[in-house]
Amino acid sequence: MKAFDRVNWKKLMEILKKIGVDWKDRRLIKNLYLNQEAIVRVADGMSEPAVIGRGVRQGCLLSPLLFSIYAEMVMIEAMEDVSAGIKVGGELLKDVRFADDQAMAASSEEDLQKLMDSLVKSSEKFDMKINVKKTRTMETAVSKFEKLAVSTDDKLGLKYLVSILLYIYLCSKLYEYLDIIFVVLMRGTISRHFRVHHLSTLIVTWISIYSIEHHLINLSWLIIPTILLNTFHHIILYLYLSLTDKTMNGINYKLKLGQLLPITGSLQLVMSLISSIYIINHLHGQLNYNQILSQLFVLIMFMTYSWLHYQDVKLFIKQKHT
pLDDT of residue 132: 72
Classify residue 20 as left (phi > 0), alpha (psi -120 to 50) or beta: left
Give the per-residue pLDDT at 289: 57
pLDDT digits (tens, 9 = 90+) for 271-303: 555 555 554 455 444 445 555 565 556 555 555
Residue of 46, 47, 48, 64 whose CA lies nearest to 56: 64
- Whether 169 shows a pLDDT value over 50: the answer reads no
Q: Kindly list the distances between the CA atom of residue 240 and the CA atoms of 122, 128, 260, in Å, as whole numbers in the listed order.
A: 64, 62, 8
Name the pLDDT band for 23 (thresholds 50, 70, 90). Answer: confident
